[in-house]
Amino acid sequence: FQAIQMEKTMVGLLLTLIVAVAAFNIVSTLVMVVTDKQSDIAILRTLGASPKTIMGIFMVQGSLIGIVGTLLGVVLGVIAALNVSEIISALESCLGIQFLSPDVYFISYLPSELQWCDVAVISIAGLSMSFLATLYPAWRASKTQPAEALRYE
Rounded Cα distance, 125 and 6, in Å: 20
Question: Where in the chain are the domains?
Answer: 2-74+119-150
The predicted structure's pLDDT at residue 99: 74
Measure the CA dihedral 136/141/142/147, to 10°: 150
Region at 114 (left for phi over 0; alpha for psi -120 to 50; beta for the rest): beta
Q: Is the dihedral of CA 120, 11, 102, 105 positive or negative?
A: negative
The predicted structure's pLDDT at residue 53: 94
Torsions phi, psi for 109 (to 5 deg): -140, 165
> pLDDT-based confidence at 139, cuts 50/70/90?
very high
Rounded Cα distance, 50 and 124, in Å: 31
The predicted structure's pLDDT at residue 22: 81
CB-based contacts of 149, cutoff 8 Å, min separation 6: 38, 39, 41, 42
Q: What is the pLDDT of residues 95-136, one digit of tens each?
A: 888 777 777 667 666 778 888 998 998 899 889 988 998 999
Crossing angle (nearest 10°) for helices 38-46 and 51-82 = 130
Percentage of the chain beyond pLDDT 70 is 95
Q: Does residue 88 register a pLDDT over 90?
A: no
